[in-house]
Structure 1
Amino acid sequence: MTLSDLHRTFGQVAALDGLTWSAPVGRITAVLGPNGAGKTTAIECAVGLGRPDRGTVRVLDTDPWQAGAEHRARVGVMLQAGGLPNGTRPLRLLRHLSRLYADPVDVDAVARRLGVTDFASTTVRRLSGGQKQRLALAASLLGRPEVLFLDEPAAGLDPHGRLDVWDLVAEQRDAGTTVVVTTHSFEEAERLADHLVIMNAGRTVAEGTPDSVTGGRSLEDVYFSLTRKGAA
């Protein structure tokens, strides 16, 4: 997956300003950056929910903006906003979504693994933030995606829940899935990332393996030195 020289403006605001980075196949790429760095806009372009003003996006060798159903079935997406229908119940929703794929995973197995069965009788509108996160992650896995985009997948989870999610994300990578995780958590990035991207002001300010990005310093120190006001 590659984003090359992306530009995207909203009025007078340049959300993306020549952004370029890639996500290696079969690896976990962690994308970090302060609020307003352009992470959400970049992911929206990568999944076909937004279109850059100029630049090139390629996911599975395809422009996602113009992609059809076959391409979209190969990509899993978990957005922070969720977009889950409030009136339904978790297992009913997952079973409905699974029917959209030719070869879905076992819904009950995924639901058990992520603890969705513990709140299966509760409507989505009554779920806690952490429960909605678990449900959204389960939904993103239903189609056995080749590329998986996860927007802060462990946000709102308790420590046990975070570990469960991190283990599951690592398993997806080990099975050959290309995973892109946006996060504000240094712990999450350090635990999961094979490849790091740090964004600031719509640009990439660092990219590479964790060792090459940090150079022996802590990730937190490197991040703040690159994203402090005026660093871009």
Structure 2
Amino acid sequence: MTKLSVNINKLATLRNSRGGNVPNLLQSAKDIESFGAQGITVHPRPDERHIKYQDAVELKDIVSTEYNIEGNPIPKFIDLVLKVKPTQVTLVPDAEDAITSNAGWDTIKHKDFLIEVIQTFKSEDIRTSIFVDPVVEMVEGAAETGTDRIELYTESYAQIFATGREHEAVKPFTEAGIVAKKLGLGLNAGHDLSLDNIKFFKEHVPNLLEVSIGHALICESLYLGLENVVNMYLNRLK
């Protein structure tokens, strides 16, 4: 079964909008795990507009499943990850002012940098993953960095899937999954995956270990309830 890691950034955004502690982020993480999710993901950004660096630290003692911290490996982020030592760190090439992640790494151009950062994390027994587009050359480049896994950036899949061209949408991801397996890379995926498109993706992308879902899952929960939605995802990922 593909694991579901719930990204709780949007819950932090809601909390921050009023300056208090509602919703309680730590309790929410506990609840999400109790509903069956197999992981919690956070993506702190330099301006801390949603997840705060202190949140990431405090969640370490709360998360009992897999804890995944995403972000651009600037010095502040690297220091945070080394302090927290999550289950997994996912490297994302975000600009500091990015609203959301919008591209994968050029694993060829940034190979030397990625090798250095990945060695830093793996020396502390932190599993590493690189955010990449579903391009065979980028997957091959990722394998040369020493990373444990890649996370496929799935925005293009979601956009094309929504037009009814699901087989066209998933084809490059199927190919990337096959190549990743051949190269010994674990495979994750995330960005704009939803209840509408996750089942087809799971069925057509081989060797998928984990999906990280936040925005859609929280939005769907406004109508259907958080516990119900988590279980709906788990059913689609079987």
TM interval, shorter chain, is 0.3 to 0.5
- Greater strand share, 1 or 2? 1
- Greater helix share, 1 or 2? 2
Give TM-score, length-normalised by structure 1. Answer: 0.41
Higher relative contact order (CA 8 A, sep 6+): 1
Give TM-score, length-normalised by structure 2. Answer: 0.40
